[in-house]
Amino acid sequence: MNQDQIQRYGDELYAALIARQPVDPLTDREPAITIEDAYQIQLRMIQRRLDAGETIVGKKIGVTSKVVMDMLKVNQPDFGQMTSGMVFNEGEAIRADALIAPRAEAEVAFLLKRDLTGPGVTAADVLRATDCVMPCFEIVDSRIKDWKIKIQDTVADNASCGVLTLGGVRKDPRRIDLALAGMVLEKNGELISTSAGAAVQGSPVNAVAWLANTLGRLGIVLKAGEIILSGSQSPLVPVKAGDSLVCSVGGLGGTSVRFI
């Protein structure tokens, strides 16, 4: 794929984000698109957000569960970049109509106090570099029509990033076994799922190490002060105005999100 195509598709996805109007899958229009092409499109889309005044605040890992990997026919996670315009405070209502087809997922976020530069980053390195962990909700959203995505589509679309909320409870990850910590997710007072951190690459810590090493090979550093979303521990839950969700993580605490 040439640079003109990469720029055109990146601009198209940014326009879809602003107008909240989805586009046809890129993989239908460009059957030969590679994951490497898709990441270049992602970078163009992100650059448009930066040009509009946003800043990078962190990274996210996607496609961490076997169910989603099987759906997309891939055997590894992907990643996206989070910007300042995506972050909501705990308790702050999110307008559902500001997104296209939002779906909520619960996970654990890491706040770094030191840079992580891969390759060669281990789980122990991640723990040493982490200031604290907190429960969070990522509200994923697809600029691809009807969520008809393959791995190249979601990568190009910044790993289907929407917005996120960070829980107010923050703890030292060395005092919690994140692999064994159970997570409970409720929507409108009804139980949706239960899981453990081991569902995410064996541990959310391992997922962050994977991200640091993968990005390191691309010359990208996980920087001190960045928020790293370690991957969903829950199913993707469609949400609309009036919905509220609560998640709790054993030993860590809980957080909530509501939509208007």
Instruction: Report in angstroms the alpha-carbon separations of 243 from 20, 68, 162, 186, 258.
Output: 20, 24, 17, 11, 6
In a domain, 3, yes or no: no
> Is 226 a domain residue?
yes
Instruction: Report the CATH number that the domain containing residue 248 is assigned in CATH.
Output: 3.90.850.10
3-state DSSP call for residue 46? helix
For residue 243, give the DSSP letter: -
Question: pLDDT tier at 187 (50, 70, 90 boundaries)?
Answer: very high
Q: Residue 64 and residue 86: Cα distance in Å, rounded?
A: 21
Sheet arrangement for strand 190-196: 190-196, 182-187, 244-249, 253-258
- Asked if residue 210 is part of any domain, the answer here is yes
Predicted local confidence at residue 127, as pLDDT: 97
pLDDT-based confidence at residue 200 (cuts at 50, 70, 90): confident
- Is 211 part of any domain? yes
Within a domain: 7? no
Would 141 be classed as within a structural domain? yes
Question: What is the CA angle 250-256-259, rounded to 5?
Answer: 155
Q: How confident is the model at residue 29 (pLDDT cuts 50, 70, 90)?
A: very high
Place of tokens 């969070």: 136
- Does residue 74 have a pLDDT over 80? no
Q: Would you say residue 185 lies in a domain?
A: yes
d(CA 46, CA 82): 9
Residue 86 lies in a domain: yes
Nearest to 228 by CA among 151, 118, 141, 99: 118
Please tell me the predicted confidence (pLDDT) of residue 15. 98
pLDDT more than 70, % of the chain = 95
Residue with tokens 């899958």: 25
Whether residue 71 is predicted with pLDDT greater than 80 in this model: the reply is: no
Q: What is the domain count for the chain? A: 1
Eight-class DSSP state of 223: P
**Domain residues for 131?**
55-258
Look at residue 164 and give its three-state secondary structure. Answer: strand
Among candidates 30, 28, 169, 162, which has minimal Cα distance to 91?
A: 169
**Segment holding 257, helix H or strand E:** strand 253-258
* Model pTM above 0.85: yes
